[in-house]
Structure formats: structure tokens, C-alpha cells
Chain A
């Protein structure tokens, strides 16, 4: 895996660059994940608000719900849930696609056709995943906050403007910037793991299924490990 990642960096910064395939992959990976990510984000915001409310009411701090939901979603829940959904959808699809291309000799055919399959398949998909996940997370955060706004309005009347003012006023750079930066790493992990599992798939259709499955499992574990590291590094850097 380490050697595969090192090869990614070697190939990514040397021509020939596969821009048209990169754009196609950004469309597939980013745009086509939008509906799933949007729906789960909306439910996440709504449910989080409804679950939080009884405890907040008990302590008489229900006015803090927008602030609390905002911080939770922006700092942690938005990035991690979106990344896990992304790993499930994109990690498995990359693993299965490349795995099936490997077992049906399509990767060899690509090489014979004057194409570096590593650049064409691995670099483009990994870069697309790295670039698209942060975009999806930003959108998911916005949709989740809207879900939360509707959740608040189930029980009381709160204007949209006031809700967002309460959210934004309680957010600082410390909450937003590290949360966005870590999603690039999450996206990279999903892309590179999916490609690695698919690229070295073997043993026919059974191997393809296993590649897709292990791509999701491994990417999900990496996401949690990276999240843990990101929290530690953020603490360290911000306290300097």
C-alpha cells in the first residue's frame, strides 16, 4: 500500500496528464454522489436537532441548539458521516470497477494501447476523490444545517436568518478550516484504497467482490484514524 501511494505521487506529477478523464471522474465521483450525500445530510441535521432538544430543554438551554448543532456538524459529524458514505459509495465502486477491469484484462489492454493505466485509472480517480469530497462536505454541512433549522421549527418558530446568525456567530476559523482540510485527506484515503484494492484484484469475480468490500472497510478505518490524527494535530497547531 505504501509503495502504491508512493507510485501515485511519482506518476501524478509527471506528464502525460489525463485532464479529460480527471474531469469525467470528478463528474462521476462528485456530481453523482450529490443526491445520496444531500439526503443523508438533511436527515442527519434533522435527527440530530430532534435528539438534542429534550436534553437541552431539561437544562433550559434550548436557545443554544443552533450553535451546538452547527459546531457538531461543521467540526465532526458533517465531515465524518459524509466521508463514510463516500467510502461506501465511491470506494466500493472504484474497487469493483478496477477489479473487474483487472480480471477481464482491460488494464492490460490499456497498457498495450499506449496508455499508462496507473495514470489513467488510479491517478485520475484518486485526485477526483480528493477534490470532490471537500466540496460534498461543504454542501452536506449546508444541507444538514437546513435540516436542523426545520427540526427546530417543528417545536418553535425561529426565522431562517436568526437560525443562521446563531450558527455562524458561534463558529470560528478553528472550527471550519481544520474540518475542511481533513476532508481532503479523507477523500485521498477513499480514492487510493479503492484503487489499490481494485488494481491488485485477483481470483475472478469472487476477487472483485472482495476488493469492493475490503476497499470500503479499509477506507472507513483510515477515515477514523485520520480523524483522530487531525484532531491531535489541530490541537497542537492551534495551541502554538
Chain B
């Protein structure tokens, strides 16, 4: 019996768009303190999965239990409270163009913690920016930053609320290999420093190898296989092997 504490439990998750079945009785568990990478081809439904977990998309059926609460059953208020404990790094970073880096970082803080004082806010902003190594960008606009810097700022924005779970949607996509590696290192650092559990959606095998304790393979809408990188790499199943070629 597995004694680890689950933080995300997905059972029989189904999601379709018209006649297109994206998730078909998908099952997955993320345990506390674990870094889990969900691998899948482009268009396999990885982003749909992560958006169902955070409540941005409503599943057709199935359970998505996050920190003990079933996301599809939550009302708007309870979903907000839960989202404060879950950080979400968007594939496109989703930094607010019209706001400075400081305002981008303050935004979730002000929205979730209404009573927080400006002095405390400033301190938290600088602390998280120093952690991602970009304290000097505090008054810059997102348009003035490089792709890698934007990714780091977006990560800082999610970390400012000190989430228990981190969801990463294709964190290395669109970055050069060196910057990609820096982001992978940052993901590992975040897990150690903030004691978070992380679910990473990707098709990057370098990321899967270096940043995961376990891999889940999303094939034809199902969780086809799970296990450590080394174990899956030696599998003789052609569908699994296709990822390692």
C-alpha cells in the first residue's frame, strides 16, 4: 500500500470537444513533494488536463481532487480559495502587458490577500524576484524582457503566494536549450525551497529526465503508463518507446 499523501487525485476524467475525445477516463495521482511530468504529443490533451485541474475548463465527468476538494463541485468562491494554494505557470507566461513586473507580481497578492500592507507586499515582491534572479527588472514592462526572463517573472508571480502545488504548462517550450535548462534548474530549486508538489506538462524529454521523479504518459486520452524515467526508457512497448527515439 502506498503511504505517501496524495495532493491531486484524478479519477475517470473525461473531456470532449464536440466529437473530439480529448481525455478518456484519465487517472493520475500526484503525491506531496513529488515532481511529476506528464508527457504527451502535441494536441494530446495535456493543456486541457492542466486547465481542468485548475478549474479553467469543466470536465464532462470524473473526479479531480486537489488538496482534498473535488474541483468540479466547487463554487466560484471556494475555487478561488483553492487556487491561492495552486500556482499555475502558463505556456505563454500570461504576464499582463499593461502592468510593470512589480504590478504583475502584486496582482495575485492583492486579489487573494486583500488586507496585506504595502510594505509587506514590497518585501514579498523583492524576495521572490531575488529568488528567480531578476530583482533588477522590478520596474520594467514585460515587453522589455527576453523570453526566458518573462518565464522567470511568470514563475515568480505564481510563487509569491507560496503555493502547495505548482502546475507547469510546457515550461521550456519556445526557449533555447540553455534557457530551457535554466528553467528546469529553477523548477527543481522551487521544489526544494518551497516544498511544493509539481505537475509538469511537457513533451521535452530533457525536462522529463532531469526534473521528474515520475513520468505519466498521456496517450489517446488515457494515462497509458507511469513510472520513473529510467524504467519507462527500458520498456519494450512501442507506444512508450516512441517518446524516447
Complexed CA–CA distance, A116 and B94 (Å): 16
B contact residues, total (Cβ < 8 Å): 21
Interface residues of A in 105-119 (CB under 8 A from B): 105-106, 108-116
> CB-CB < 8 A to A153: which residues of B?
none
Question: Which of B86, B90, B98, B112 touches A109 (beta carbons < 8 Å)?
Answer: B90
Q: Is B17 an interface residue (CB 8 A)?
A: no
Q: How far is the CB of A156 from chain B (nearest CB, A)?
A: 51
Question: Which of A101, A106, A112, A116 touches B56 (beta carbons < 8 Å)?
Answer: A112
Residue in chain B with minimal CB distance to A100: B97
> CB-CB < 8 A to B90: which residues of A?
105, 108-109
A106 contacts B76, C-beta separation under 8 Å: no
Interface residues of A in 61-116 (CB under 8 A from B): 97, 100-101, 104-106, 108-116
Complexed CA–CA distance, A76 and B119 (Å): 53
Complexed CA–CA distance, A114 and B54 (Å): 12
A108-B56, A108-B90 known; A113 and B112 CB under 8 Å?
Answer: yes
> CB-CB < 8 A to B94: which residues of A?
104-106, 108-109
Q: How far is the CB of A206 from chain B (nearest CB, A)?
A: 16
Q: How far is the CB of A105 from chain B (nearest CB, A)?
A: 4
Q: Is B80 an interface residue (CB 8 A)?
A: yes
A112 contacts B91, C-beta separation under 8 Å: no
Q: How far is the CB of B111 from chain A (nearest CB, A)?
A: 4
Q: Is B233 an interface residue (CB 8 A)?
A: no
Q: How far is the CB of B107 from chain A (nearest CB, A)?
A: 6
Interface residues of A in 96-146 (CB under 8 A from B): 97, 100-101, 104-106, 108-116
Residue ranges of A at the interface with B (Cβ–Cβ < 8 Å) = 97, 100-101, 104-106, 108-116
